[in-house]
């Protein structure tokens, strides 16, 4: 069994968006929640082998290189991030720091360099209380796909930290996808800062449907990386 990350779904210019790749791999495991650990930047446009590990999980490998691991997460507590009204999220998005300073401007999820309909164009603005908020306007192409909910849970968490001045990439995500968005639905995406120690930052994120139903929630670990150039 293999999976391929098309270049369209990149985060940094030369590797896959962490949340999207994690969602693809998690989709091969039964049940939820699932924890995915990214070990090396996921290659683009290359078939990657999905293999069982010694337990109940899966390994994603590129030749001899371990790209990611997925394991059932058990019944750990994934606390949801409290929502704000959709109009407040839309207003916060106008102050998205990535519009003026973005370490990965081509990111499929949050890159402002992506055209509407090509990327998700989620622009999480900070609310001043450790949370971010933005609106995900779901197109027909991206509706009903669990890996896209994983992707939407990714960057809005990272932007709760000053990622524009201290670039980070996703290291680990535990997520539970409970429902899927419909075409044309305007979903609320929330992030929350949890803490930082050394190169690691911890965040939480939640996606809500237009009717307030819980679509997905996640906790993540981010790893600071050197700025490009």
Spans of all domains in the chain: 2-72, 86-224
- Please count the residues of the chain: 229
Number of H helices, E strands in the chain: 3, 11
- Are the beta carbons of 215 and 177 closer than 8 angstroms? yes
Q: Specify the residue for token string 């150039």.
A: 229
State what percent of residues in the chain have pLDDT above 90.
93
Superfamily grouping for domain 2-72: Hotdog Thioesterase (3.10.129.10)
> Which stretch, 15-24, 31-40, 66-75, has highest mean pLDDT?
15-24
pLDDT in tens, 127-180: 999 999 999 999 999 999 999 999 999 999 999 999 999 999 999 999 999 999
Which pLDDT value is given to residue 229? 53
Question: Are both 2-72 and 86-224 of the same fold?
Answer: yes
Once rounded to an integer, what is the mean pLDDT over residues 103-131?
97
Span of 25-34, 58-67, 157-166, 211-220 with lowest mean pLDDT = 25-34
Residue 181: is it exposed, middle or buried by C-beta count within 10 angstroms (0-12/13-18/19+)?
buried
**Class of the 86-224 domain?**
alpha beta
pLDDT at 66 over 90: yes
**Is the confidence at residue 219, as pLDDT, over 90?**
yes
Between CA 134 and CA 189 the distance in angstroms is 5
Buried b (16+ CB within 10 A) or exposed e, 9-37: bbbbeebbbbbbbbbbbbbebeebbbbbb
């Amino acid at each position: 069994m293999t999976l391929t990350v098309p270049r369209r779904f990149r985060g940094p210019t030369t590797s896959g968006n962490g949340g999207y790749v994690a969602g693809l791999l998690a989709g091969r495991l039964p049940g939820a929640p699932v924890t995915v650990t990214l070990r090396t930047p996921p290659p683009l446009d290359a078939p990657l082998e999905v293999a069982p590990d010694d337990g109940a999980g899966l390994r994603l490998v590129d030749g001899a290189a371990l790209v990611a691991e997925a394991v059932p997460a058990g019944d750990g507590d994934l606390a949801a991030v409290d929502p704000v009204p959709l109009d407040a999220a839309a207003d916060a998005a106008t102050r998205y720091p990535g519009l003026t300073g973005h370490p990965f401007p081509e990111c499929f999820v949050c890159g402002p360099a992506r055209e509407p309909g090509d990327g998700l164009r989620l622009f999480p603005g900070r609310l001043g209380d450790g949370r971010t908020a933005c609106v995900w306007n779901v197109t027909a192409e991206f509706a009903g796909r669990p890996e896209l909910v994983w992707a939407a849970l990714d960057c809005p968490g990272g932007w709760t930290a000053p990622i524009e001045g201290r670039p980070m990439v996703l290291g680990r995500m535990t997520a539970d996808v409970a429902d899927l968005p419909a075409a044309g639905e305007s979903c609320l995406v929330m992030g929350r800062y949890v803490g930082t120690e050394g190169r690691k930052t911890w965040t939480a994120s939640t996606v809500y449907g237009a009717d307030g139903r819980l679509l997905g929630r996640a906790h993540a670990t981010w790893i600071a990386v050197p700025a490009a150039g």
